Amino acid sequence: MAFPKINPTTTKAWIKLEEHYAAMRGVKMQDLFANETGRKERMSLKTDLVSLDFSKNRITSQTLDLLQSLAEETKLDEAIKAQFNGEVINETESRQVLHTALRDFDAMKPEVNATLSKIKEFSEAIIQGTHKGYTGKTITDIVNIGIGGSDLGPAMVTEALSYYKNHLTVHYISNVDGDHVCETLKKLDPETTLFIIVSKTFTTQETLTNANTVRQWFVQKAGENAIEKHFVAVSTNLTAVAAYGILAQNTFTMWNWVGGRFSLWSAVGLSTCCAIGYAHFEQLLKGAHQMDIHFKEAPFSENMPVLLGLLSIWYTNFFKAETEAVLPYTQYLSKFVDYLQQASMESNGKSVDRNGTPVTYQTGPVVWGNTGTNAQHAFIQLLHQGTLLIPTDFILCTDSLHGKKNHQDILTANCLAQTEALLMGTYGEDVANPYQVFEGNKPSNLLRLDTLSPESLGALIAMYEHKIFVQGAVLNIYSFDQFGVELGKKMANRHLINQ
């Protein structure tokens, strides 16, 4: 089965969506809610780990039917099968896209299993202190040196799961800014620090520059022979890792069929695994796998990632919304938006379709946001009273991890109040002061987790991964390459030569 290559604008559904949009443009959600009993119940979905209330969208059941027809006409079902079956759907780079295979314990590839065992063994030796540094001390600090997908995913997950963390302190060096490196090194003792160099290609300028600086600092203090106890690497490029002087036993393999921005489930997550322990890391993978099964098996009308992807297309292409906000109401997810920006924008920031033709429609929206309630005191004004339409995802955990029910009650009340205020505005109220009028009718999704656990986090991340896949598949673009980052890299090199 080939990856479909259908221009979505040539489908019957797209034409009908255009007509439908003309009718929906003026429809107010406030009226939809007033006239439809059970809207919220009908427009809610639940999996074991994540639930979604999508009733506060500018949609009717007809919109949903049409969006579903769009998915059918663009053969989304074939695209999903092609991905999971390991077809070479990343055609521009001739690669499979199989990050889902990293979390499928029932059908695990032997090489994935072997690497997972190595991750387990190594992380346990670090955590339990059986792995000693060059002076016989145990490791207290771990430094992940990587950028993009080799940084954002693990950094986000380690932060998100800090409740489950052990005694190890984990640092992330990504920026080639030497001050970033020096500020981190300032806090470290070479005798008790482990450095993980993470680079899928092992050619990334920033990562190699940072790794060299760190290595120099280390060798000056500890000597060359100490490297083997303090430096490990994660990469597909085993030759370059060996040439760099890292022993095979200290090298963790990843594969070309794992995209950098989808790699936190691989050995790229080694720093996370050391921080939270293998059992939690495995739960993260298993939670993601549950979402994979949902995505693969649920009919489109009940499929969370499919629905979220189609809603995004509805707003981006018909309402001409240019951005989407994501507001997690838990401080643990303070790095979630950074992570999501790469996952979404590096994937779907494309303007040539899968037939090699420039697109005539919108592809990936700008993704941005911050944690609530901080966002409420920063930019939410623009969502309520600005002129731009910004569909927003609210992410809320029912229970906090440390108790403090009074805080959680306030947090929850604020999150729910924002979704309600965006929906209702001051509709139906007689507000004399024009500056105090809220139009409402602003779309939002409410995603809920019971608590932030490794499993529920895994499912949440996988849900967004699949949403991104749906957007790209239906919009007929290649989501798994990133040629757009290359030109700047070349130009930077030219500037370096000229300096």
Q: Report the nearest approach of ligand F6P to the CB of residue 52 (Å).
A: 28
Number of residues binding to ligand F6P, judged by CB under 6 A: 14
Q: Which of 41, 186, 377, 490 is catalytic?
A: 377
Query: Is 101 or 345 the residue whose CB approaches ligand F6P more closely?
Result: 345
E-strand stretches of 241-400: 251-253, 323-328, 366-369, 392-397
489 tagged catalytic:
yes
Binders of ligand F6P among 480-499, rule CB under 6 A? Answer: 482, 485
How many Å apart are CA 67 and CA 309, to the nearest integer? 10
How many Å apart are CA 158 and CA 135, to the nearest integer? 28
Q: How many CA atoms lie within 13 A of 133 on its CB side?
A: 20
Only one residue has tokens 């994501």, namely 326
Q: Which of 320, 404, 405, 489 is catalytic?
A: 489
Among 147, 313, 422, 463, binds ligand F6P (CB under 6 A): 147
Nearest to 465 by CA among 284, 337, 344: 344
Residue 290 lies near ligand F6P (rule: CB under 6 A): no
Binders of ligand F6P among 186-205, rule CB under 6 A? Answer: 199-201, 204
Residue 260 lies near ligand F6P (rule: CB under 6 A): yes
Backbone angles phi, psi at 74, to 5 degrees: -90, 5
Q: Report the nearest approach of ligand F6P to the CB of residue 415 (Å).
A: 31
Residue 150 lies near ligand F6P (rule: CB under 6 A): yes
Residue 149 lies near ligand F6P (rule: CB under 6 A): yes
Only one residue has tokens 């920026």, namely 175
- Angle, helices 76-84 vs 454-474, to 10°: value is 130
Residues in contact with ligand F6P, shown as a per-residue x/- string from 89 to 128 under the rule CB under 6 A: ----------------------------------------
Query: Is 377 or 490 the residue whose CB approaches ligand F6P more closely?
Result: 490
Binders of ligand F6P among 424-483, rule CB under 6 A? Answer: 482
Query: Is 133 or 149 the residue whose CB approaches ligand F6P more closely?
Result: 149
Residue 144 lies near ligand F6P (rule: CB under 6 A): no
DSSP assignment string, 114-169 = HHHHHHHHHHHHHHHT-SB-TTSPBP-EEEEE--GGGTHHHHHHHHHTGGG--S-E
How many Å apart are CA 470 and CA 447, to the nearest integer? 18
377 tagged catalytic:
yes
Q: Which of 324, 346, 455, 465 is catalytic?
A: 346
Query: Is 147 or 461 the residue whose CB approaches ligand F6P more closely?
Result: 147
Query: Is 155 or 422 the residue whose CB approaches ligand F6P more closely?
Result: 155
Q: Report the nearest approach of ligand F6P to the CB of residue 240 (Å).
A: 10
Q: Report the nearest approach of ligand F6P to the CB of residue 355 (Å).
A: 24
Nearest to 265 by CA among 124, 480, 119, 467: 119
Q: Report the nearest approach of ligand F6P to the CB of residue 176 (Å).
A: 12
Residue 261 lies near ligand F6P (rule: CB under 6 A): yes
Query: Is 199 or 419 the residue whose CB approaches ligand F6P more closely?
Result: 199
Residue 272 lies near ligand F6P (rule: CB under 6 A): no
How many Å apart are CA 106 and CA 103, to the nearest integer? 9
Query: Is 97 or 390 the residue whose CB approaches ligand F6P more closely?
Result: 97
Q: Report the nearest approach of ligand F6P to the CB of residue 372 (Å).
A: 28
Residue 153 lies near ligand F6P (rule: CB under 6 A): no
3-state SS class at 198: strand
Largest CA distance in the chain: 77
How many Å apart are CA 341 and CA 367, to the nearest integer? 6
Query: Is 139 or 258 the residue whose CB approaches ligand F6P more closely?
Result: 258
Burial (CB count within 10 angstroms: exposed 0-12, middle 13-18, buried 19+), residue 94: exposed
The first and second tokens of residue 412, run together, are: 């929850």
Q: Are 96 and 90 in contact (CB under 8 A)?
A: yes
346 tagged catalytic:
yes
Residues that bind ligand F6P (CB under 6 A): 147-150, 199-201, 204, 207, 260-261, 346, 482, 485
The residues that are catalytic are 346, 377, 489
